[in-house]
């Protein structure tokens, strides 16, 4: 049965774009005496679950933080394992994505990825380009500070060559230079494992996003966890800086999938000439000393209360 044929739950008021920081694969594996590779493999199953739940909730865009720019600092054997799993995913999932009319896009500095993976990404994006049911966005070799720095560098080059005056720079111009130029900003960002930080993920785009932190590890993520987050999201009042909740309004950037005239050179997940350099962040790609901790329980209330809150492989943290 395809995703389109499956029953859907209550989708009224669902977000257009949900982004997930998939965290906890290493801790999940350590709690069971397994290798980190096994934890990452289990995390791929959770990716499929999240995609199915997002489809049932009529979420048009789903972004998954799969591999951060800081993750390159991890041990070489773990990076190699993650690249191997990425190859497997890109080779095995495209048929299913096409079956369900899901478009795949990749954002991040892909020039740091192995050449064969870049080719697989390009092929997958091309083969799914015409799909309009849903858009799955993988953040790979992605760092938000690097993304913003690269955007500033590109605008600076325009100023240096007389194409642009500094006083004419607008927020819209900056947004147009990001990997996500033609993708709506996320309405909701989820993070598993109970950690409460963004870890250099979509910092510009998250300006008005709701944040929900789940007390479960990514490999344990289930559809009911996604639906519970949707219910929490619907209970929140989003004012976007206004005194009252605006009727039938949304923050800038909420265009429809495949909106006419918005196809740009960033469809491949990067802009020409922006592949060099990365921000040296304090997030080393994983929290030292946290991988051997106990596994958070799956209580009925997995959401950390909103009063407190205000990766593909779960490798991003």
Q: What are the strands, taking DSSP E only, across the chain?
A: 17-21, 61-68, 102-107, 134-142, 188-191, 210-213
- How is the chain split into domains, by residue range? 14-140+179-233+301-309
Residue 279: per-residue pLDDT: 38
CATH T-level topology, domain 14-140+179-233+301-309? Undecaprenyl pyrophosphate synthetase (3.40.1180)
Alpha helices of 57-190 — where are they, by DSSP H?
A: 76-92, 94-99, 115-128, 144-160, 171-176
Could you give the residue numbers annotated as active site? Answer: 23, 71
Residue 94's contacts (CB-CB under 8 Å, 6 or more residues apart) are 104, 124, 127, 128
Contact (CB, 8 A) for 191 and 276: no
The one-digit pLDDT tens for each residue of the chain (317 residues) are: 444 444 444 466 889 999 999 999 999 999 999 999 999 999 999 999 999 999 999 999 999 999 999 999 999 999 999 999 999 999 999 999 999 999 999 999 999 999 999 999 999 999 999 999 999 999 999 999 999 999 999 999 999 999 999 999 999 999 999 999 999 999 999 999 999 999 999 999 999 999 999 999 999 999 999 999 999 999 998 877 776 655 545 555 554 454 433 344 444 444 433 433 333 333 333 333 334 333 444 443 455 544 333 344 555 55
134-142: strand order across its sheet = 102-107, 134-142, 61-68, 17-21, 188-191, 210-213
Quote the CA–CA distance of 14 and 215 in Å, as a whole number: 22
Residue 116: per-residue pLDDT: 97
CA dihedral 115, 121, 123, 124 (to 10 degrees): 160
Q: Is 21 helix (H, G, I), strand (E, B) or coil?
A: strand
Quote the CA–CA distance of 159 and 182 in Å, as a whole number: 23
pTM score, whole prediction: 0.77
- Surface-to-core class of residue 273, CB atoms within 10 Å of its CB (0-12 exposed, 13-18 middle, 19+ buried): exposed
Both structure tokens of 257: 């999938």
């Amino acid at each position: 049965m395809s995703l389109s044929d499956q029953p859907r739950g209550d989708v009224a008021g669902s977000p257009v774009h949900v982004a997930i920081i998939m965290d906890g694969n290493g801790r999940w594996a350590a709690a069971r005496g397994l290798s980190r590779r096994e934890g990452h493999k289990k995390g791929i199953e959770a990716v499929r679950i999240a995609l199915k739940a997002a489809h049932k909730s009529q979420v048009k865009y789903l972004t998954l933080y799969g591999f951060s720019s800081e993750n390159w600092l991890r041990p070489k054997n773990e990076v190699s394992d993650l690249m191997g799993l990425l190859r497997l995913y890109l080779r095995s999932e495209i048929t299913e994505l096409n079956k369900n009319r899901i478009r795949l896009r990749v954002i991040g500095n892909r020039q740091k990825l192995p050449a064969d993976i870049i080719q697989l990404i390009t092929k997958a994006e091309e083969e799914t380009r015409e799909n309009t049911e849903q858009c799955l966005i993988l953040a790979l070799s992605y760092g938000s500070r690097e993304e913003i720095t690269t955007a500033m560098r590109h605008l600076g080059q325009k100023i240096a060559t007389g194409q642009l005056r500094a006083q004419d720079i607008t927020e819209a111009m900056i947004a147009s230079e990001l990997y996500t130029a033609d993708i709506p900003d996320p309405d909701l960002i989820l993070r598993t494992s109970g950690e409460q930080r963004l870890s250099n993920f979509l910092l510009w785009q998250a300006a008005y996003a709701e944040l929900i932190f789940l007390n479960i590890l990514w490999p344990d993520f289930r559809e009911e966890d996604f639906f519970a987050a949707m219910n929490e999201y619907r209970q929140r009042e989003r004012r976007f800086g206004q005194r009252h909740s605006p009727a039938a309004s949304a923050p800038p950037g909420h265009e429809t999938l495949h909106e006419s005239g918005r196809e740009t050179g960033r469809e491949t997940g990067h802009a020409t000439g922006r592949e060099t350099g990365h921000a040296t962040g304090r997030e080393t790609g994983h929290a030292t000393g946290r991988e051997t901790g106990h596994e958070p329980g799956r209580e009925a209330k997995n959401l950390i209360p909103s009063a407190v809150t205000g990766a593909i492989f779960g490798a991003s943290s």
